[in-house]
Amino acid sequence: MNNSITPNWDELLDYDQEHIWHPYAKLPSTTPAIGVVKTQGSIITLSDGREVVDGMSSWWAALHGYNHPKIQQAMHDQIDTMPHIMFGGFTHEPAIELAKRLVKLSPEGLEKVFFVDSGSVAMEVAIKMAMQYWISLSRPGKNRLLSVNNAYHGDTFATMAICDPINGMHSLFSEVLPKHFFAPAPEMGFDIESNNDDIRDLRAVLENHHNEIAAVTIEPIVQGAGGMRFYRPDYLKQLRELCDEFDVLLIADEIATGFGRTGKLFACEWAGISPDILTLGKTLTGGHITLAATLATSKISATISSGEPGILAHGPTYMANPLACRAAIANIDVLLTAPWQDNIKRIETHFNEMLIPLKAIDGVKDVRVLGAIGVVELEKDHLGADIQGEALESGVWLRPFGKLIYTMPAYNIPQNQLNDLTTGLIKSVINVIQKSSQL
């Protein structure tokens, strides 16, 4: 915004509160949203002039902080030549260059790319591909999915049906959502020795229902919005083997984990596996503009294209938007030329030192760290708003949900801001727990 006229923020926020839906909110909302006027690196400037350290990367997205100069330059160049053109019948260099990078970097075998606008729709396309694959093979009965508890795959109707049936939005819409199969969530813990009960239970579902199941859907290694749970790579490895054994496709949702967050470029790499279909979103443009993608093997595209009707019937209006593709190309190039692995290690080490000791506090149920993700799970689930408020007071932006206070900062967050982030988080958690236990 040009500051020639200073906006009247009281009026703007009143209007916002009355008229504009925010994520997972009432309308009019009970708590007004916070005005934001500027972002730079890991700093967010609020409408009252305060600057706060960003602990959320705008929900995983802003890998290199906001307004990255190289990503912005690429977008400026693109907007001057061609911000958008329909993808039906046309193609352009940004889409092609981005597809090349995705095919090259993603797990082996994923060679075909479908561009969409958001993560949920990338999952919709993944589901459609899986279903159509089996229709094309004259096995239309394989039209259900197998998900796991605590999963989160998006907010659209097809994806709600594979979110956790209890803590997702499944129950409210259970009458209209398609019924899929669920296995227990993978046992919690990235580096545990497991007795594999979880995988045995999943195997049992496949044994009984593989003739009805098109695909297993899974968030590799990190279950995000459904619980911020980390699990062992061996689970994923065994899951891949089971999918092969029972002739079921594997859809890996790396919308949150893709592009380095866990310490590997893709979380699938921890298990050395390739899914049949992979979804990317959130992180694809480094938080600069919306774009997502569904990648698939040549076997999937060939099967769909040789069946009836021989096409994949999906084609968003803004498919492969050139501006977004340019941002994604720049985001990937910035990532690969940065010492991102060192940065993830640096953040992981810092979180381990600073956050893990919170385990000793009454009211804290668990603290876990993986890559550049730190999670403090509380015993109670109603303290999030107070913790968010306290954190903001100490100059830190967090967005807790339920019992989960979590942070995934930009990989290149300066060390002093990282210190401020963890200090603010710890202080607010301790203060709010103390206050609540005194009530």
Ligand X SMILES: *Cc1c(COP(=O)(O)O)cnc(C)c1O
CB-CB neighbours of 7 under 10 Å: 12
Distance CA 334, CA 27 (A): 39
Distance CA 292, CA 38 (A): 25
E strand or H helix at 364: strand 364-370
Q: Are strands 181-183 and 144-148 parallel, antiparallel or unpaired?
A: parallel
The yes-or-no answer on residue 24 being catalytic is yes
Please say which residue, 377 or 420, places its beta carbon nearer to ligand X. Answer: 377
The yes-or-no answer on residue 235 being catalytic is no
Q: Name the minimum Å distance from CB 375 to ligand X.
A: 14
Please say which residue, 224 or 233, places its beta carbon nearer to ligand X. Answer: 224
Question: What is the residue-wise DSSP string for 291-337?
Answer: -EEEEEEHHHHHHHHHSSS-S-----TTTT-HHHHHHHHHHHHHHHH
Residues making up the binding site for pyridoxal 5'-phosphate:
119-120, 253, 316-317
Q: Name the minimum Å distance from CB 209 to ligand X.
A: 24
Please say which residue, 256 or 327, places its beta carbon nearer to ligand X. Answer: 256
Q: Name the minimum Å distance from CB 290 to ligand X.
A: 7
Binding residues for ligand X (CB under 6 A): 118-120, 123, 152-154, 219, 224-225, 253, 255-256, 281-282
35 neighbors 14 (Cβ within 8 angstroms): no
Measured distance between the N- and C-terminal CA atoms of the chain, rounded to whole angstroms: 44
Q: Name the minimum Å distance from CB 215 to ligand X.
A: 15
Catalytic residue among 117, 164, 253, 276: 253
> C-alpha angle with apex 309: 307 to 315, nearest 5 degrees?
115
Peptide bond into 83 cis (omega under 30): no
Catalytic residue among 282, 403, 411, 420: 282
The yes-or-no answer on residue 362 being catalytic is no
Residues making up the binding site:
59, 119-120, 152, 253, 282, 315-317, 399
Please say which residue, 264 or 350, places its beta carbon nearer to ligand X. Answer: 264
Catalytic residue among 66, 133, 152, 235: 152
Residue 112 DSSP one-character state: E
The yes-or-no answer on residue 318 being catalytic is no
CB-CB neighbours of 11 under 10 Å: 9
Q: Name the minimum Å distance from CB 193 to ligand X.
A: 27
Please say which residue, 112 or 282, places its beta carbon nearer to ligand X. Answer: 282
- Annotated catalytic residues are 24, 152, 253, 282
